[in-house]
Structure 1
Amino acid sequence: RTDRSLSSGRPVQFRAHCARFGLDAVRDVQVLAPMQRGVLGARGLNLALQEALNGDVSKPSIEKFGWTYRVGDKVMQAENDYEKEVYNGDIGTIVGLDAEEGELAIEFDGRLVPYPFGELDQVTLAYATTIHKAQGSEYPAVVIPVAMTHYMMLRRNLIYTGITRGKRLVVLVGQKRALALAVRTSDEGRRWSKLRDWLANR
């Protein structure tokens, strides 16, 4: 469910389930969605999970670029920033907000990185991300929503990629028929790479 009921009791249950596996609900669990848009897309899930897992409105926060950034939020760097030494896909936690200085402090692997408010377009919430964005990464546990609303993206290789991101635990949540559709649908169509033309011109 992605309605407000997430914030009434379910976070406690979710954290308890995570604790059974020795997992921290925010740090260790990554939700991987087949697509970005929609209620069950990464953006919609991020908003619901932020409210459920870090919805204390008394915490310092700032609204920028369509997101509310709050101390305690799990965030992801969305592009390479060589000056800050943070790179596309790096995950961190907001640990401080200084309204007077106009910047956030985000911790990446024990290193504090300052972000002026004007640079927050480089950062998105990271409770959920797309399977595509997670390629090349691994997480202690992943949760993958699979629903017919994702039907345009449901492919065997996409589900395989999502499942192989989890190191200790993988949970698929959703509709059996959506998973069946994904398993049946291969992405082995012809690839128009123009390699033959390129080699001929050499």
Structure 2
Amino acid sequence: MSLIELKLTPERMMYPKSEALNKNDFRIYACTSDSADVEKNGFGNISIKGIMQRLELGTEYTAQITLDKIDPKYGASYNVLSIYQDVPETLDGQREFLATLMTEMQLEEVYKTYPDADVIDLILNDKFDYKQVKYFGEKTYLKIKHRIKENIVGTVQINKYIQSIVNPECENKKQHEYGKDNDNVIRVGDFVLNTVNMYQVKNLEESSVDIVNGDAGKVLDIKFEDDKRDDDDEDLLEREKKGIIIGFDSGAFRIDFNDVFQLLAGWCRTGHKAQGDSAPAVLSIVDRSHKFQVSANMLYTMLTRAKKKGILITQSETINFAIRKVESKRRNTHLCELLKHTEAVADE
């Protein structure tokens, strides 16, 4: 299923009813959008859901989504793959951006203390002294810093940075640019993740295989044209069609250019997406701006992805805060019944 990239504005959080009830960062929002690529309900909204940060209502975001289902009563709902807010570069734009994160009184006090300053740059470089600003506390400061850093220490930007180092642009290396402003690039040699379940589809050997959400592979080739045949009556084989060729465990597979959005750079992932995976060495980033989102449970998940070496980049105050926050997540499984059944069978 094709991925949709669009601008949207959350208008109401439908789940959970309050942030106090949120235990795993799963959220559902009703949003407005001018995109013609989505199907709106009777209220002119779309519903988005998934593991995501808390969104500011009335604020525009850039998102990548896929269609989940169309309900006859409530309309279409979409799964969120990524969502972020662009941080403006101009001082006027920054002031408008900061106005969505704090009260008018706080905003006035910020610019009284730092008139004509690049406030966002001060925050990012830890040169913003919130103690000198009236009506400002640590929690407000960290919330704002987190929102700004989502675009800098988030997986999208980190993956772009890693790509520029380990697989940079080269004159002899094929690449495909996509997105509204062609600001996304996939090139031969990239390590990518598939995000859509595809069952019994043909690989390049014409064998039927399953490619599922989370499968990782390497970009082997990018074909910009179909192979030419003398006999036009026969259908082209998979290896003869244009597209992005990915080497998965199940063999080489072709992704159509229209479906490129279902591929994400796979070098860096969120802690949630990394669950169930492992690697010889894992480097985890837990920034101070993530302080109120991270917990001991998530630290455990991130560090246990490593088979041999796990490295955690953080601050002492952040990790101390996290290890004191243990989430009690009740899991409903059939393990108890299974053990009882196994014991009963063994006694027979």
Q: Give the TM-score normalised by structure 1.
A: 0.71
Q: Which residue of 2 aligns with 1:87?
A: 212
**2:284 alignment counterpart:** 144
**Superposition pairs of residues 105-116 of structure 1, within 5 angstroms:** 105-109=245-249, 111-116=251-256
Residue type of the partner of 2:185? T
| C-alpha deviation, 1:122, in angstroms | 1.3
User: Does the residue aligned with 1:130 lie in a helix, a strand or coil?
Assistant: coil
Q: How much identity, in percent, do the aligned residues show?
A: 29
Deviation at 1:128, TM superposition (A): 0.4
Aligned to 1:198: none
Which position in structure 2 is the counterpart of 1:166? 306
Q: Hey, what's the Cα distance between the residues in 2 that align with 1:52 and 1:149?
A: 25
Q: Which amino acid aligns with 1:154?
A: V
Q: Whole-Å Cα distance in 1 between the matches of residues 190 and 261 of structure 2?
A: 15
The answer to whether structure 1 residue 64 and structure 2 residue 186 are counterparts is no
Distance of 1:118 and 1:37 partners within structure 2: 28
8 Å CA contact retained: 1:95, 1:105: yes
Q: Which runs of 5+ in 2 are unaligned?
A: 1-148, 202-209, 227-241, 333-348
What CA deviation, in whole Å up to 9, does each residue of 1:19-69 have, x standing for no partner?
xxxxxxxxxxxxxxxxx9431111111111111111133221111245210
Q: Secondary structure at the match of 2:277?
A: coil
More helix by share: 1
Which secondary structure does the structure 2 equivalent of 1:48 belong to?
A: helix
The answer to whether 1:77 aligns with 2:217 is no
Q: Structure 1 residue 178 and structure 2 residue 318: aligned?
A: yes
Pair 1:128-2:128 in alignment:
no
Aligned equivalents of 1:97, 1:118: Cα separation in 2: 13
**Does the CA-based 8 Å contact 1:148-1:175 persist in structure 2?**
yes
Count of matched residue positions in the alignment of Structure 1 and Structure 2: 157
What is the match of residue 166 of structure 2? 53
CA–CA distance in structure 2, aligned partners of residues 171 and 47 of structure 1: 21
Q: Structure 1 regions of 5+ residues with no counterpart?
A: 1-35, 194-202
* Alignment partners' CA distance in 2, 1:108 and 1:141: 21
Shift of 1:83: 3.4
Out of 274, 290, 293, the residue aligned to residue 153 of structure 1 is 293
Question: Structure 1 runs of 4+ off > 2 angstroms?
Answer: 64-67
Counterpart AA for 1:56:
E
Q: How far is the alpha carbon of 1:110 from its aligned partner?
A: 6.3
Over aligned residue pairs, what C-alpha RMSD do you find?
A: 2.2
Aligned to 1:42: 155
Q: Report how far residue 109 of structure 1 moved.
A: 2.1
Distance in 2 (alpha carbons) for counterparts of 1:88 and 1:37: 24
Question: TM-score normalized by structure 2?
Answer: 0.42
Letter in 2 for 1:93: K
